[in-house]
Structure 1
Amino acid sequence: MKGFSWVTIFCALFACCACQPQTPQESVKKPNVLFILVDDYGYTDCGIMGSKYYETPNVDRIAREGMIFTDGYATCQVCSPSRASIISGKFPARHGITDWIGAKTGEEWSKVGRATQLLPPEYKHALAHDYITLPEAMKEAGYKTFFTGKWHVGGKGSWPDDHGFDINKGGWDVGSPKGGYFAPWENPTLPSGPDGENLSMRLAKETVKFIEANKDTAFFAYLSFYAVHGPIQTTQQKWARYRQKAEQMGIAENGFEMGRFLPIRQVQDNPVYAGLVEAMDDAVGLVLDALEEMGLNENTIICFTGDNGGVAAGDAFATSNKPLRAGKGYQFEGGIREPYFIKVPGMGNGQKCSTPVTGTDFYPTILELCGVELKPKEHIDGKSLVPLLKGETMAERPLVWHYPHYGNQGGEPSSIIRQGDWKLIHYYEDSREELYNLENDLSETTNLAADNQEKVKELSATLFAMLEEMGARFPERDPSWTAEREAAHLKNIVEKRWPALEKQRKQFLSEDFDPGNNWWGSMVVND
């Protein structure tokens, strides 16, 4: 209870400081905020959330010292929409960025070898400038604001420093690390270091440098890793250790099962990806250690999450999110449920909270914890989680997802609503609806729609009323689609792509695996 009472005092104290003019001698230093966002990071991609394969002592440390939101969600199953939601406080259907920026739409979608029934709708390609973003709200409150890493919420003119960040190190148009995870890389806002420098560690060092320069004032630092997005890369040392670990754990004969459009990984045993995860965790540790060394640990709030589920299909087919179903790009829990931790100094002990929460909730939560006046017209789709952090409860509310696109990973155009333990998925190809009870069926194996028609109607009505209010766009039928063409496409996936993936998986785990490019230059510098 000591931690909960501290949070109450913490919030009240800084709310008071924010409202009453004070002299410098009387002022109390506001809490700092470190926000850590990991790209494509799966629900079970860290030890504390259940992985027996990946080693993430530093990420686990944040969770153990804070609150673990077991039902924490991204607002979309792909990156750009959920990233825009975190800093705007708005669901994707409202801010209009409903797919990763760069994805094809309309007839252009059907011209790139697709064989799907629908044409995805247009979406916005940059975050609107008339929003007051989270960093802008923090800046108004006197915070020094800093961004480093992946942005992917708009091109030049809509980069981090155009939306409230004083400093931008590495954020620009693209969503993957152009040039890879070892220098030299290509990034107009983050010059390469010495050949072989690790990108994740460089982002951590830039964060530490910013914190050191601003340790005597209040800061909002946003560390947005490019990891663990493809291309997956690691050092030879890390690969060797995780290859051996996979062997000791027992290598399954087969690693994939066929989904509707693509094979989906069922096991965590990719040693290249495991090394990439560990490198990200090493970088997190560098920042956490720096906060302690500078005496800032007891005055810094830390938020940690991901932007969508782990990549079980498509991209690098890198991880498994089991017991959750599927992964990035999908309408199932593996595509949207995330590690979601908030550490408030003095709280500690890794308490778990099962209330469903989402990416839009960070905006009002951070404002309230920092004693900054809330902006409900901005973070309209978010709720402050301070009551939960204090051990209280929150009223049940519906959470919605709107992804009227086909994911590169095999997901289908759909909208989702979760209320309480119930989750409804509406599919746009044929208007079918699936109903799951997540309390009893976390893996979404049993569709209960046929036996619960009243609940289906209730949730569907709420879902579409919310989508209409937000101005959601919807897909249209592709007049050129034929069942024969789609069947031929899927036959090719089953007969060629699936066996190739199984072969590649075994290659990564073979003792003589060689990426053929000097381990991406990572051997130039020490591991």
Structure 2
Amino acid sequence: MHTGGMQALTALAAALLAFTSLPPATARPNVVVILVDDLGWMDLSCQGSEYYKTPSIDRLATEGMRFTNGYAACAVCSPTRAALQTGRYPHRIGVTDWIRSRFQRGNRGTPERNPTDYVGGKNRQFLCPPNPFWMEHDELTIAEALKGRGYQSGYIGKWHLGDPAWFPPGQGYDQNKGGCDYGQPPSYFDPYNQPGGRHETLRQGIHNLPGRKKGEYLTHREAAEAEALIRAWHADKQPFFLMVGHYAVHTPIQAIAEVSAKYTREGKSTVNARYAAMVESVDDSTRRILATLQELGIDRNTLVIFTSDNGGLDRNGSPTENAPLRSGKGYAYEGGIRVPFLVRWPDAIPAGKTSDTPVCSIDLFPTILEATGSTPPKGRIIDGLSLLPHLLSGGEKALSRDELLWHFPHYRHAPGPYSIIRKGDFKLIKFWAGPHELYNLANDLGEERNLAPAMPEEVRQLDALLVKRLKDGGAKLPRTNPEWVKK
């Protein structure tokens, strides 16, 4: 086993020993994960925004811990979702770009296996590894890992990890409400479809939402489905794991007109106002979930984690603004990967804490397993670390992690394939087709001063470590294109 994997297993084993220090009331806590799509680092009041109004989400920060250095495992959605479900880096899983839905692949149906051939063109310097059409069944999800502890599990909202055989029920979830292969909803209003869509799945729309009402807003329907599942599980006296993967705030930027009107401001576009209304819909969903937990008397022993799958979209009409971070969704800069990250568990985690410790989507799997007294199969490599000791100590106990990695080996976001390592305050961006960039995030959060020309030895060391760690983790790296001719 490679060194990184052994360190991860050792860290998880050590963290599991801390489970015995949890208060007796926290045995088999309920778990709710709220994953928002494309929510930027500055899109919440508790993150410093004076435009967005998110009082219910802010409660998670004031009654728990807010991480200022929270990261998504990728700058686009599917890789982060796969990493969150498994605790493993996207490059280890093999999902390094967003997964093409059936309608995006045309009418070719579902192939027998995932693609294996590298892709490229004569005008590109590198050939890039293929991205799969689904996350393989041999990956262990949170829902599957919790079954041995008697947990009921449910998935609501955006899934985006494969065709029907790989929808949530095929990956261990007992309930699936609206999870399918869509990367975005055809419409945010019931019946959530495109009647004239070119593919049958677009015409069909998001389905398996049993309580749906004509014209209902999608985020409100997701909240109602969450309330219903929580009530049913509580009546059965079973602990539960609920994942609410909101389709919001992904495009199309659609909102309820009355709510959008509240955000009309000088200097703000109608797109900005609609986006703000979408953010408010997520806040309202969070309010309803917390209220249901409180009504049933189970809110104090419910672990709630709130985060986003990547940074905010700062182009295509610029619905939001990630400043002081640079750039946004899809890109290697902080605006693409740094996201809100909030954790609340009143019976176990001190309230009102803020942590500057870097954390990532890969940490949810081991954190939830430790909190519930569960363990992964022996020998399974987990890249994430349990945050529980850090959370229980109010941030006093440090995490034993040296670096975080990102790997996007595709020509989708300029200037082409990139990989990233953050070690301490230094962040190295390896553009495979261009020069490296090095930033000290402690004093240059906006990544305005590239230190690479002045610090070649630091670049060399970080680059060597990055490539080694990627290779150790089974990453598929870009290959030199023999047909490419430099112009």
TM-score range, shorter chain: 0.7 to 0.9
Question: Offset of 1:117 from its aligned partner?
Answer: 5.4
- Using the size of structure 2 for normalisation, the TM-score is 0.84
- Verify: 1:96 aligned to 2:94, yes or no: yes
Cα 1:14/1:355, change in 2 over 3 Å: closer
Q: CA-to-partner distance for each residue in 1:459-478, whole Å, 9 max, x for gaps?
A: 11110001111222233567
Question: Offset of 1:378 from its aligned partner?
Answer: 3.7
Paired position in structure 2 for 1:145: 153
**Match 1:454 to one of 453, 457, 463:** 457
> How far apart are the structure 2 equivalents of 1:411 and 1:138?
41
> How far apart are the structure 2 equivalents of 1:109 and 1:154?
23
Paired position in structure 2 for 1:205: 224
Specify every segment of 5 or more residues in structure 2 that has no aligned partner in the other structure, as ranges: 1-14, 106-114, 193-204
- Verify: 1:231 aligned to 2:272, yes or no: no
CA contact (8 A) 2:27 2:372 kept: no
CA contact (8 A) 1:34 1:222 kept: yes
Q: CA-to-partner distance for each residue in 1:189-230, whole Å, 9 max, x for gaps?
A: 335822220111111111111110111221001111000000
- Verify: 1:399 aligned to 2:404, yes or no: yes
Paired position in structure 1 for 2:212: 193
Paired position in structure 1 for 2:169: 161
1:252-271 aligned at under 5 Å gives the runs 270-271=272-273
Specify the structure having the higher radius of gyration (Cα): 1
Across the aligned residues of Structure 1 and Structure 2, the Cα RMSD in angstroms comes to: 2.8
AA partner of residue 206 (structure 1)? E
Paired position in structure 1 for 2:200: none
AA partner of residue 425 (structure 1)? I
Cα 1:273/1:30, change in 2 over 3 Å: same
> How far apart are the structure 2 equivalents of 1:8 and 1:464?
30
Question: Offset of 1:357 from its aligned partner?
Answer: 1.0
- Verify: 1:329 aligned to 2:348, yes or no: no
Paired position in structure 2 for 1:38: 36
CA contact (8 A) 2:40 2:339 kept: yes
> How far apart are the structure 2 equivalents of 1:471 and 1:8?
26
Instruction: Give aligned pairs, total.
Output: 442
Question: Offset of 1:184 from its aligned partner?
Answer: 1.5
Question: Offset of 1:157 from its aligned partner?
Answer: 0.8
> How far apart are the structure 1 equivalents of 2:135 and 2:446?
34
- Using the size of structure 1 for normalisation, the TM-score is 0.78
Q: Secondary structure at the match of 1:172?
A: coil
Residues 454-463 or 386-395, more deviating: 386-395
Q: CA-to-partner distance for each residue in 1:51-93, whole Å, 9 max, x for gaps?
A: 1111111111111111111111111000000100001111011
AA partner of residue 412 (structure 1)? G
**Match 2:48 to one of 36, 47, 50:** 50
Question: Offset of 1:126 from its aligned partner?
Answer: 1.4
Question: Offset of 1:338 from its aligned partner?
Answer: 0.8
Specify every segment of 5 or more residues in structure 1 that has no aligned partner in the other structure, as ranges: 1-6, 18-26, 256-267, 485-527
CA contact (8 A) 1:54 1:274 kept: yes
> How far apart are the structure 2 equivalents of 1:375 and 1:456?
37
Paired position in structure 1 for 2:308: 306
> How far apart are the structure 2 equivalents of 1:34 and 1:279?
18
**Match 2:82 to one of 84, 89, 105:** 84
Paired position in structure 2 for 1:473: 476
Paired position in structure 1 for 2:262: 241
> How far apart are the structure 1 equivalents of 2:378 and 2:64?
26
CA contact (8 A) 1:184 1:192 kept: no
> How far apart are the structure 1 equivalents of 2:211 and 2:189?
9
Question: Offset of 1:318 from its aligned partner?
Answer: 1.5
Paired position in structure 1 for 2:382: 380
> How far apart are the structure 2 equivalents of 1:330 and 1:79?
12
AA partner of residue 403 (structure 1)? F
> How far apart are the structure 2 equivalents of 1:428 and 1:77?
17
AA partner of residue 302 (structure 1)? V
CA contact (8 A) 1:89 1:378 kept: no
